[in-house]
Amino acid sequence: MAEIVLNVEVRDRVGDGGARAARREGKVPGILYGGDKGPVPIAVNEKDFRKSLYTGKLLGHLVTLKYGDETQPVIAKDVQFHPVSDTPVHFDLMRVDEHAPVKISIPVHFKNQDQCGAFRQGGSLEIVRHEVEIMVPADHIPEELVVDLAGRQLGDTLRISDVQMPKDAQPTITDRDFVIASIKVSSAAKADAADEAADAAAAEEAAAAEEAAADEVPAIEQAAAEEPSEG
């Protein structure tokens, strides 16, 4: 059973005007869509919506939608925020069968970075995909997909096969072992290495100059000794 219940009401007005009217009443407007039914404009009390949103278990998770005495499972697919105040201004809910598979993008989390010697050697993690779309039963949607970095080396490429995938889930891309991230020498480490090489070259050049100057002194002294004295 979903942990979050959203008590919604159906909006009479649609479009931007209806959405603004809902916000003036202290509600967040949204749309319910999917399945074999048409889209329905809905709204949720803003305080209740914020409380559900900040649990971290709303977006991308199975949610119970409640309208009067009726309930149905849905997935919160998207939440839009005001660009200045960062308050929620609109949301999308998708109807689902809670046991049926759904396509959904799940964030990728990298663990055990402190056990990855490559980072102590100047390596950095270059992430190609911050999330991966998977097919998974709606009631088994994972919080995240995990990649273990323990023991990884410089130059390693991390692929979908390195992700700890739930047994009842699979990526929607199935024709290749696609890249998730790679461990490369960081630009800062490259710059430090270049500086060290330049310093070493300069020191070697200075040492060679000193050695050449030291060799010139005996030669000058010998030439002076070999010159015939006048008189």
Equal CATH topology for 5-97 and 102-185 = no
Superfamily per CATH, domain 102-185:
Ribosomal protein L25, C-terminal domain (2.170.120.20)
How many other CB atoms sit within 10 Å of the CB of residue 100?
10
Digitized pLDDT (tens) for each residue of the chain, 231 residues in all: 457 899 999 988 777 888 889 999 999 999 999 888 889 999 999 999 999 998 888 888 899 999 988 899 999 989 999 999 989 999 999 999 988 999 999 999 999 999 998 888 889 999 999 999 999 999 899 989 999 999 999 999 999 999 988 888 999 999 999 999 999 986 554 445 445 555 555 567 766 667 766 666 565 566 666 666 555
* Token reading at 84: 């200045």
Q: For the chain, what are the domain ranges? A: 5-97, 102-185
**What is the pTM (predicted TM-score) of this model?**
0.67
- C-alpha 197 chain-centroid distance: 34
CA pair distance 161, 172, nearest whole angstrom? 13
CA atoms within 13 A on the CB side of 87: 11
Q: Are 95 and 36 in contact (CB under 8 A)?
A: no
Question: Which residue do the tokens 């979903």 mark?
Answer: 2
Q: Are strands 101-111 and 145-148 parallel, antiparallel or unpaired?
A: parallel
Selected from 2.40.240.10, 3.50.50.60, 3.30.460.10, 3.40.50.9100, the CATH number assigned to the domain covering 5-97 reads 2.40.240.10
Q: Is residue 185 classed as helix, strand or coil in its secondary structure?
A: strand
